[in-house]
Amino acid sequence: MRTAAAIAAAVRAGEVTATTVAQQAIAALKADAYVAVTRVLEQRALAEAAAVDAKIAQGQDPGPLAGVPYGVKDLFDVEGLPTTAGSAVRANVAPASADAEAIRRLKAAGAVLTSTLNMDEFAYGFATINATYGTTRNPHDPARLAGGSSGGSAAAVAAGLLPFALGSDTNGSIRVPASLCGLYGLKPAHASLPLKGTFPFAESFDDIGPFTGSLADTALVWGVLRGEPIPEAQGKTRIARLGGRFRENADPAQLAAIDAIAPSAPLLELPDIARARSAAFLITAYEGGHLHRATLATSALAYDPAVRDRLLAGALLPEELYAKANAFRADFLSRLNSLIADFDLLLAPATPCTAPLIADPRIMIDGALSPARADLGIHTQPITFTALPALAVPLLRPGQLPLGLQLIGKSGGEGAMLALAAQIEHDGITGVTMPERLIAGELT
C-alpha cells in the first residue's frame, strides 16, 4: 500500500508525475470490486493533477499532498455535482456551487480528488448497506461488511485503491469501519475540522476525518484539514482503561492489547454509560428526523425503508424529550470531566467484534444477537457523546480479520494520541496489514 507521504515525496522529486498517479488511481477505482465507489471523477482528477505538474514544472511548491489521490464520502459537496448523501432522494438536487471546505483545503495542499464513495443512506447506520448503490464489501473478506456509515471510504483505502479518504463520524461512522477494515480512522474533537459543505446528519455530533493506511498519513492529512500541525505531546502521558460496558462486549484480543499497552493503568467506569448511549441515540434521531421532516412529508417512499422508518420515528419525538436528553448530556459531561481530569488518554475497544457476514448482519451483544446496522457502534457512540477526539488504531493481526481500539484524548491534547499510537505501533501491538487476498493478487 503506497502512503500519501511517499506519493507526495515522489511527485515533488519528479520521480513520477501527478498525472500518472491520477491515471493509476482512476483505473483502480473503475475496477472497484467492493462497491466502495459511487462516482469516479476522472475529468476533474486529471485537471487537478495537471495543475500540480504545472506548478512543479514552474519550480513552485505544490503542497504537502502533491499529487496524492483521494476520495470523499458521498456527503461532501463537490462543485458541479449533486450531493447525494447516499440517497436516491437527492440524486437530482441542484449541483453544489462550491467544494466543501475540507476539499478546498486538500486541493490547496496539492491533493487530487478522484471519487465519491459509498455510505449508509444519510449516514444512518454502521454497515454501508445502501439501497441505491449496494452493500460495500470488506477487502479482507468480501463476504463481510466493511462497516459504516463511511464504509466506502474505508474499503477504498483498505483495498489499496486510494492512500486516504475522507469520511464523517456522527456516532462512530469512521471508527467502526476503520476497526473492521484494519485502518487508522480519526474522529476529531467535535467541530475542530471544517464541516462547511457537508450534508448533516445530527449536528450535535457530526464530524469529519480521514481514513489512512499509515499513522504518518493521519498526521499529515489531519494537519492539512486543521490548517496547522498537530501539537506535540507534553510530558508523561497519563492513561486510563475504560471498564464496565467497554469490557463486557469486546473481543479478548482487544482486551489483551489494552492491558498490554497500559497494564498498571486504572480501570475507569464512565458514569451512566448506558444512559449516555441512549441519550445519544435520542438526540441523533431527533435531529436527523427533524432535518428530514419536510422531505419525508412529500417523498417518504423514495427513502430506503430501513432509514425512512428511523427518520420518521425521530421526527415524531417530542421536543421536551430532546431537551431532557441534552440536559442529561450537560450533567454527564460535568461528571465525566471530573472523572478523567487526571488522565490524558483513555483506551477502549472500537467495535465489539470483527466484521459480520453480509448474509447474516448480526452481532452478539450481551449474549444475544443484535442488528449490526444499529449496534456496531456500542463503544463509539458514548465517546461521541463526550465530544472528545478519538483515533481508531488497528491491532496487528496478519492473517486474521481486523479489529481496532480507540485512543481517546482531550481537545488540545491530540498530540498524546499520536504519540501513543506511534509507540504501540513500534511495539508491534498495532499496525496496518494488507488483505491477504490482495497480497496474493486476487482482486475480485
Question: For residue range 266-311, what is the model confidence (pLDDT) as tens digits?
Answer: 999 998 999 999 999 999 999 999 999 999 999 999 999 999 999 9
Phi, psi torsion values for 395, nearest 5 degrees: -65, 145
How confident is the model at residue 443, as a pLDDT? 39
Mean pLDDT of 16-42: 98
Determine the Cα–Cα distance for residues 424 and 254; give it in Å rounded to an integer.
13
Question: For residue range 335-375, what is the model confidence (pLDDT) as tens digits?
Answer: 999 999 999 999 999 999 999 999 999 999 999 999 999 99
Residue percentage of the chain with pLDDT more than 90: 95
The more confident residue out of 1 and 68 is 68
Q: Is 0.85 topped by the overall pTM?
A: yes
Query: Around Cβ 314, how many Cβ atoms within 10 Å?
Result: 25
How confident is the model at residue 284, as a pLDDT? 98
Is residue 117 within 8 Å of 71, Cβ to Cβ?
yes
Question: For residue range 390-417, what is the model confidence (pLDDT) as tens digits?
Answer: 999 999 999 999 999 999 999 999 999 9
How confident is the model at residue 44, as a pLDDT? 98
Eight-state DSSP code of residue 413:
-
Catalytic residues, by residue number, are 73, 149, 173
How confident is the model at residue 151, as a pLDDT? 98
Domains, the chain: 4-226 (3.90.1300.10), 239-439 (3.90.1300.10)
- Poorest-confidence range of 169-173, 257-261, 288-292, 437-441? 437-441
Given the C-alpha cell 486543521, which residue does it identify?
A: 226
Long-range contacts made by residues 224-231, C-beta under 8 angstroms, separation at least 24? 224/64, 224/65, 224/105, 224/106, 224/109, 224/111, 225/102, 225/105, 225/106, 225/193, 225/194, 226/192, 226/193, 227/105, 230/414, 230/415, 230/418, 231/412, 231/413, 231/414, 231/415
How confident is the model at residue 442, as a pLDDT? 45
Q: Name the residue among 136, 149, 181 with its Cα closest to residue 1.
A: 181
439 pLDDT above the threshold of 90: no
Mean pLDDT of 123-137: 97
Mean pLDDT of 114-121: 98
How confident is the model at residue 436, as a pLDDT? 75
Coil, strand or helix: which one is 375?
A: helix
pLDDT-based confidence at residue 444 (cuts at 50, 70, 90): very low
Mean pLDDT of 208-225: 98
Angle, helices 305-315/273-291, rounded to nearest 10 degrees: 100
